[in-house]
């Protein structure tokens, strides 16, 4: 009670749930688990032992609204999910994504086109990752965080629940905004506390820490803690919390 296109390849030991659809020239590795009502679009590639839960869509082509400032309609490479990943229920992963090994994308998350995610990163429940974003290895992005388009997140970064990144200081008004779109950059080991808002073009340098509820309007120096609205430097990050002093 599922459909596998004759041109696709399904590895030994892979199981497919009821009413799922595997599109043209898709490749599923060995021992994958595909849930019920899953749609895997043409050309998508899953590595070995990938789990995809119910009602998830992988390899979706983007739509472009008439007023979209970032999305472009063009040929995209198929989505590629490497070995041992866990993809939750009702997740949407677009074409043009590459997801490294042992990544978890939790239920209800959305990962747009032209996104790269490094190995062992966790994308939490309900997280939105917009297009043209790079996320490093061993990051954790927690529930309902919003990562705006054009952002770059380095290795070992931590983003708490309900964090909001922004990339447009003009709030959609005047054509001037098209010259200034820029996402947020987090360097290696940077962290952001719950409900913080980060303005467009901001860099949080290595091991920088943004406190909960902060409004970040200027760059965060390396190994400094910032708090408040607008955020100000208050002290150094304790040495025992620095990324180089952790056991990974």
- The pLDDT tens digits of the residues spanning 9-32 come to 999 999 999 999 999 999 999 999
- Of 203, 232, 240, the C-alpha closest to 215 is 232
Question: Residue 65 pLDDT > 80, yes or no?
Answer: no
- The pLDDT tens digits of the residues spanning 156-185 come to 999 999 999 999 888 777 777 777 789 999
pLDDT at position 75: 80
CA distances from 71 to 31, 130, 144 (A): 35, 10, 22
Tokens encoding 66: 């008439």
Query: Measured between alpha carbons, how far is 177 from 127 in angstroms, rounded to an integer?
Result: 26
Does the pTM surpass 0.85? The reply is yes
Question: Residue 60 pLDDT > 80, yes or no?
Answer: yes
Instruction: Place 69 in a pLDDT band, splitting at 50, 70 and 90.
Output: low
Query: Measured between alpha carbons, how far is 47 from 103 in angstroms, rounded to an integer?
Result: 12
Query: Measured between alpha carbons, how far is 170 from 193 in angstroms, rounded to an integer?
Result: 25
Query: Measured between alpha carbons, how far is 98 from 167 in angstroms, rounded to an integer?
Result: 23
pLDDT at position 172: 76
Residue with tokens 């919390």: 241
């Amino acid at each position: 009670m599922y459909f596998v296109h004759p041109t696709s390849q399904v590895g030994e030991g892979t199981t497919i749930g009821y009413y799922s659809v595997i599109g043209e020239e898709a490749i599923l590795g060995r021992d994958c688990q595909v849930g019920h009502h899953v749609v895997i679009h043409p050309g998508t590639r899953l590595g070995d032992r990938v789990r995809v839960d119910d009602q998830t869509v992988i390899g979706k082509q983007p739509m472009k609204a008439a007023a979209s400032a970032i999305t472009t309609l063009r040929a995209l490479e198929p989505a590629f999910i490497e070995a041992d990943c866990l993809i939750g229920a009702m997740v949407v992963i677009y074409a043009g994504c590459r997801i490294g090994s042992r990544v978890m994308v939790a239920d209800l998350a959305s990962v747009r086109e032209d996104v790269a995610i490094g190995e062992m990163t966790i994308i939490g429940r309900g997280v939105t990752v917009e297009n043209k974003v790079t996320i490093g290895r061993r990051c954790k992005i927690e529930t309902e965080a919003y990562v705006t388009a054009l952002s770059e997140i380095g290795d070992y970064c931590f983003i708490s629940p309900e964090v909001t990144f922004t990339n447009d200081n003009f709030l959609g008004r005047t054509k001037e905004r098209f010259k200034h779109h820029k996402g947020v950059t987090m360097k290696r080991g940077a962290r952001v506390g719950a409900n913080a808002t980060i303005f467009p073009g901001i860099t949080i340098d290595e091991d920088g820490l943004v406190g909960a509820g902060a409004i970040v309007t200027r760059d965060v120096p390396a190994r400094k803690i910032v708090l408040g609205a607008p955020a100000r430097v208050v002290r150094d990050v304790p040495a025992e919390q620095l990324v180089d002093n952790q056991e990974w």
